[in-house]
Amino acid sequence: MIKYLLRKEFKQILRNGFLPKMIFIFPLNVLLIFPWAASYEIKNLNLSVIDNDHSTYSQQLTQKIISSNYFKLTDVSPNYNKALKSIEKGESDIILEIPPHFEKDLVNRQGGKIMISANAVNGMKGSIGMTYLSSIISDYNGQVVQDLMPTGAGTNSTPTIQINSQYRFNPHLNYRVFMVPALMVMILTLLCGFLPAVSIVTEKERGTMEQINVSPVSKSMFILAKLIPYWIIGFIVISIGFLVAWAVYGLIPAGYFASIYLFAAIYILAISGLGLVISNYAATLQQAMFIVFFFMMLFIMLSGLYTPIDSMPEWAKWIAAFNPLKHFMIVMRSIYLKGSNPLQLMNQLMALVGFAVFFNTWAVLSYHKKN
């Protein structure tokens, strides 16, 4: 029996004309465009310089900052107020003010004072710009100290702590390495959460559901026939994702593909279960689309896709704990970047199994003869 239902389901999907293309184009689009466009790496910050010293040192410093490639000199102002104007006009993001006698003070070992002020409307951009700029300046400082050191006095130099930072799992802080696995989760969610729900509601709207109901087909059989095709589609889509990640970004999971497939299998079951629950309560396609959209927005915002869950307030963390998307995103990033195995991801595994059981039980129970 299930064989015939599945055959019908695949015939419908393949005959759709739109759906099969969507299944390929959608993940390719998301994976090819998005990671290049969206980036946390702040580049091309517009710098405004107020140089009150006009000395060799002040010019050296400015030069060093610009040659770092993070900053673009867009404005040179005679005073702070003028510089602030350029920020207001949106021409620059950050101001560097070098006081008069900067060089003199440095050479006399009185220490130099520099003011940096950043536009913090976009807090992230402001603070990252500030950090970049400070580190360039302190780097320059070290250079100056060495320059001014009297020759032969190397022994009595002030002891300094040298910091060697090392970024684990993503040594180059490559944003794409972080985003691509998470985007795969998003694609899987949209395709496998949306499509079964839409497919069932369409049957409701067309009245074919009623014809099936007046036949010996049982409800679990009908639901299973809706789930399996999208399960398979989910596997195809995630495999496309692997391929794109490798071919375009050179990304290969540090862990095993098998562990990803295992988690994906459970995750698709959970998310399409949610789709089925929605389809049971929605009478029309319009209703179903809106409910799915509502959940997707909520899930994506609270998934840790863009902003880390750890920095969210306590209540938001609680909501996120009930978000299957969040758990699967952790899994994908851990396996891809850290090479975690399912044992190390036991919490996530349990959570996803829980979601799968919960949503699918709910789906079967709520699929009743209404009225």
Partner 1 sequence: MDKQNIQSESAISCKSINKTYDAIEALKGVDFEVERGEIFGIIGPDGAGKTTLFRILTTLILADSGTASVDGFDVVNDYKEIRKRVGYMPGKFSLYQDLTVEENLNFFATVFNTTIEENYELIKDIYQQIEPFKNRRAGKLSGGMKQKLALSCALIHKPSVLFLDEPTTGVDPVSRKEFWGMLKNLKAQGITILVSTPYMDEASLCDRIALIQNGQFLKIDTPKNIVSQYENKLLAVQSDNMYKLLNDLRASELTSNCFAFGDKHHVSVSSEQLSINNLKETLDKLGHTNIEIREIEPTIEDCFMQLSQK
Binding site for partner 1 (CB under 8 A): 1, 4-5, 8, 11-12, 15-16, 206-208, 210-217, 369-371
Q: How far is CA 221 from the centre of its chain?
A: 37
How far is the C-alpha of 343 from the C-alpha of 354, rounded, in Å?
A: 16
**Which parts of 207-281 fold into alpha helices (H)?**
208-213, 219-249, 257-281
Closest CA to 40 of 174, 166, 180: 174
Query: Which residues are within 8 A (CB) of 103 and not within 5 positions of it... i.e. 6 or more apart?
Result: 53, 55, 56, 57, 58, 112
Report the residue number, 21 or 43, with the smaller CB distance to partner 1: 21
Report the residue number, 151 or 215, with the smaller CB distance to partner 1: 215
Structure tokens, 73? 């000199």
Q: Judge whether 308 and 229 are in contact, CB under 8 Å.
A: no
Distance in Å, CB of 208 to partner 1, minimum = 5
Instruction: State which H helix or E strand residue 45 sits in.
Output: strand 45-51
Distance in Å, CB of 220 to partner 1, minimum = 13
Report the residue number, 159 or 207, with the smaller CB distance to partner 1: 207
Beta bridge partners of 71: 45
Distance in Å, CB of 216 to partner 1, minimum = 5
Report the residue number, 116 or 217, with the smaller CB distance to partner 1: 217
Report the residue number, 135 or 208, with the smaller CB distance to partner 1: 208
CB count, 10 Å around CB of 170? 15
Report the residue number, 19 or 76, with the smaller CB distance to partner 1: 19
Distance in Å, CB of 70 to partner 1, minimum = 55
How far is the C-alpha of 249 from the C-alpha of 276, rounded, in Å?
A: 35
* DSSP 8-state code for residue 171: T
Structure tokens, 168? 């684990």
Report the residue number, 22 or 84, with the smaller CB distance to partner 1: 22
Distance in Å, CB of 8 to partner 1, minimum = 5
Report the residue number, 11 or 21, with the smaller CB distance to partner 1: 11
Question: Helix, strand, coil proportions of the chain in percent (round to 5)?
Answer: 65, 5, 25
Distance in Å, CB of 222 to partner 1, minimum = 10
* DSSP 8-state code for residue 310: G
Distance in Å, CB of 205 to partner 1, minimum = 10
